[in-house]
Amino acid sequence: MSNATLELTKENFDQTVTDNEFVLIDFWASWCGPCKQFAPVYEKAAEANPDLVFAKVDTEAQPELAAAFNIQSIPTLMIVRDQVAVFAQPGALPEAALTDVIGQARNLDMDEVRRQVAEEQAKQQEQGEGPGQGQGQGQ
């Protein structure tokens, strides 16, 4: 890992995401071929965007973080802005696609994103009200 990327662990994850407005997270593992192919692309993007936090989660060393984000395949790229996950996609992105995704995430209107998240949460709460709410629902 270069100086441009930060190793995320369960100990520093919350603080990193809380303290930084824009965090890109690469979920990876040392045995993963596509992860190794994506690593130099990710490093290059980190060097090209020094104002953003580029972080990596080794899913072997940090299984709790991988589980918390329901990571099913690696590599998975996640972008968190203002503590909201605005992008999550498995697969090694080519350089042009990664640059495009970063640009799109930079241009997001976070007030609009938060409004949409609040609406979605309200809908889920409305649907969850009534008998059978809570654990075991739908079984």
Closest by CA position to 101, among listed 7, 35, 38: 38
83: phi > 0 → left, psi -120 to 50 → alpha, else beta; which? left
Closest by CA position to 75, among listed 33, 22, 24: 33
Residues with a catalytic annotation lie at 32, 35
Q: Where are the beta strands (DSSP E) in 47-137?
A: 53-58, 76-81, 84-90
